[in-house]
Amino acid sequence: MSSSRDDFGIAFRSALLQRGAAQKFSLVSLIIIATIIFFLDVYGFTFMKPVRSIINDGIYRLSLVASSPLRFIPKASGELTGLLSLKKENERLKEELEIFKTKELNVEYLTNQNKNLQKILESEESYLKKENMILSKVLIDKKSPYLRSIITNRGSKSGVLKGMPVLDKEYLVGRVVETNYLSSRVLLLTDLNSRIPVTFGDETVQAILKGNGGTRPLLEYLPEGYEIEEGVDVFTSGKDGIFSPGSPIGKTDENGGVKLFSETSQLSFVKIDLSKKNKEGF
């Protein structure tokens, strides 16, 4: 066992000595070659000029290759920093663009609302000058399969009472059925519970306009055997003492219904007639 360890140590030292000898030989060989090249160059041998050029070119190329990583790292670092900065700037610009889009949409909405209100004020100036008319904004449009009503921003504080007629421009659209201090609920003509006396035609036919939950309320209690002509204007008759006679409502159709002049699903502002203060409605 001891002999094996001694043999291994001797073999290892021999390998180291051989390696050291090879390194010394390589160093001595390089020194000798460099010395020979130096003397040949000093004494001006003609064949040394191209040899020296080749050696110089090789050295320059090796230097260029060796220094490339050192030149590439700062450049790459600068480009990476620039990319990160550009990404942050891009994200910031996107956020600002979204903010501007939101503001633009808000401005567009307010502009449309302002134009709509301005048209109403201009077209209804004669009505609004009357003390018995008040302009009201629609807050909520309440719909169900058969029920149609709206909530406005005028209530008892503004003199609104139950039963008062509600108009869109000069067209009747419903009546007040509930009042609060700052709001009121309006039952539209299309509601299933709506019934108002009307008149139409050259013969001033009397009938009841009944809501059916659809877009076109129906004419009921017509004279026996009466055939409705299409396109005849329908007005309030005023027989209930609530609605002023002669308020336009719509035109008759071929199915015994009435196509309203006002699109009740598109109401933004309505007028409430305050002249019927002593009437409580139905």
| 123 assigned to some structural domain | no
Write down the pLDDT at residue 217: 93
CA 28 – CA 34 distance, rounded (Å): 10
CA 19 – CA 6 distance, rounded (Å): 20
Q: Which CATH number characterizes residue 228's domain?
A: 2.40.10.340
| 65 assigned to some structural domain | no
Number of domains, the chain = 1
| 204 assigned to some structural domain | yes
Decide if pLDDT at 261 tops 90. Answer: yes
CA 136 – CA 236 distance, rounded (Å): 22
Structural domain span for residue 151: 134-273
| 213 assigned to some structural domain | yes
Cβ-contact 153, 139 below 8 angstroms: yes
| 92 assigned to some structural domain | no
| 148 assigned to some structural domain | yes
| 112 assigned to some structural domain | no
CA 148 – CA 14 distance, rounded (Å): 109
| 178 assigned to some structural domain | yes
Q: Per residue in 103-155, pLDDT tens?
A: 776 676 677 667 666 655 654 554 444 558 899 999 988 777 778 899 999 99
Which among 18-27, 85-94, 243-252 has the top mean pLDDT? Answer: 243-252
Mean pLDDT lowest among 26-30, 167-171, 214-218, 243-247: 26-30
